[in-house]
Amino acid sequence: MKVTMADVAKKAGVSKSTVSQFINKRYEFMAETTKVKIQESIEELGYIPNNMARSLKRKESNTIGIIVANILHTFSTEIIRAIEDVCEKNGVHVFVCNADDNPQKERSYIDMLRAKQVDGLIIFPTVGNEDLYADLRKSNFPIVFVDRRTEKPYYPSIMLDNHKASEIAIDQFIEVGKSEIAIVSTSIERKVVPRIERIEGYENRMKTLILPIEESWIVATERTKIVEALEALWKTEKKPNAFYAINDLALMELMKFIKKNNISIPHDVAVIGLDDSPFLEVFTPAITVIKQPTFQMGNDAAQLLLKIIHDKEMPNDIEVQRYTPQLLKRESV
């Protein structure tokens, strides 16, 4: 037979409402001995609380959704882990969806997660769903954006200072005497904000330092075409002596090209990537990177979303919160 809350109350010698308070973690006026008796009764009887019924009563599901733009990035998985850690400590369950930088796919996931009555969403927003974000904002649905901002400030955004990241990379190259610097990115066709900002930061810093920028030195294409584009660049008269890869997928393709062409790091070219990964530290030579504070960003995103859900209102000031990148200098420069 199914064990009920009333059965637990009877065995523990307390009222049903006291058991309910215990299950909902309302311990303010509950004696320690009472808590022990209830916990022991739950374990002995094998009672499993009806979370769905509790959620309906409170009009909360204790679930949130995370919609990442591309789950293949190390950045995405580290952010997800940090969010999940915060949610686990707060008794909140997490759905994770991968939008593949596709606005239609993202829209579908938003509809699905709302149908599942999640309490809020953390979204790495794509380009193309501004109308949906606007509607969600009007309905006061809790959302926090991560990694990207939207054209209009519908929701608070947590992002890296992408211009600063590029500035740090260029300055590090200059420090070791490398001034002919190429930049490597995955495609910007879909107007992915961090990629655009990092390229802007590269161009701005190069111009400030009065350094040459060849058009062919800006490689921004689909991942499968990066090696081909680098091959074409390497055949030109003006070869770069440094490469700045602005995300981990671009760096992987850059390293394939370097290995294929027997290019020596850092003798022939210096290399800096953006986003760290365990294999980069053990690579020969170890690769210098610009690291994002991913766990702090994920933690802050989760804490902010849970606060919005708890307060049942959006903050008055919709801000973009920028995080400072860190240089991890290794052997590739």
What is the band of 210 on the pLDDT scale with cuts at 50, 70, 90?
Answer: very high
Task: Indicate whether 56 pLDDT > 80.
Answer: no
**Average of pLDDT values for 62-75?**
93
**Token digits of residue 265:** 């790091």
**Average of pLDDT values for 232-241?**
93
Q: What percent of the chain has pLDDT over 90?
A: 76
**Residue 140: how many CB atoms within 10 A of its CB?**
10
Distance, CA of 246 to CA of 202 (rounded, Å): 10
What is the band of 48 on the pLDDT scale with cuts at 50, 70, 90?
Answer: confident
Could you give the count of Cα atoms lying within 13 Å of 2 in the half-sphere of its Cβ? 5
Residue the block writes with tokens 């009887």 = 45
Burial of 161-178, coded b for 16+ CB within 10 Å and e otherwise, reads bbbbbbbbbbebbbeeeb
**Token digits of residue 149:** 């901002």
Phi-psi region of 280 (alpha: psi -120 to 50; beta: other; left: phi over 0): alpha
Residue the block writes with tokens 């995080």 = 323
Distance of alpha carbon 117 from the chain centroid:
22
What is the band of 291 on the pLDDT scale with cuts at 50, 70, 90?
Answer: very high
What is the band of 303 on the pLDDT scale with cuts at 50, 70, 90?
Answer: very high
**Average of pLDDT values for 243-256?**
96
> Average model confidence (pLDDT) for the chain?
92
pTM check: above 0.75: yes
User: All domains of the chain, ordered by start, with CATH?
Assistant: 5-49 (1.10.260.40), 61-159+295-323 (3.40.50.2300), 162-291 (3.40.50.2300)
Phi-psi region of 239 (alpha: psi -120 to 50; beta: other; left: phi over 0): beta
Residue the block writes with tokens 């052997």 = 331
What is the 3 state secondary structure string of the chain?
A: CCCCHHHHHHHHCCCHHHHHHHHCCCCCCCCHHHHHHHHHHHHHHCCCCCHHHHHHHHCCCCEEEEEECCCCCHHHHHHHHHHHHHHHHCCCEEEEEECCCCHHHHHHHHHHHHHCCCCEEEECCCCCCHHHHHHHHHCCCCEEEECCCCCCCCCCEEEECHHHHHHHHHHHHHHCCCCCEEEEEECCCCCCHHHHHHHHHHHHHHHHCCCCCCHHHEEEECHHHHHHHHHHHHCCCCCCCEEEECCHHHHHHHHHHHHHCCCCCCCCCEEEEECCCHHHHHCCCCCEEEECCHHHHHHHHHHHHHHHHHHCCCCCCCCEEEECCEEECCCCC
What is the band of 57 on the pLDDT scale with cuts at 50, 70, 90?
Answer: low
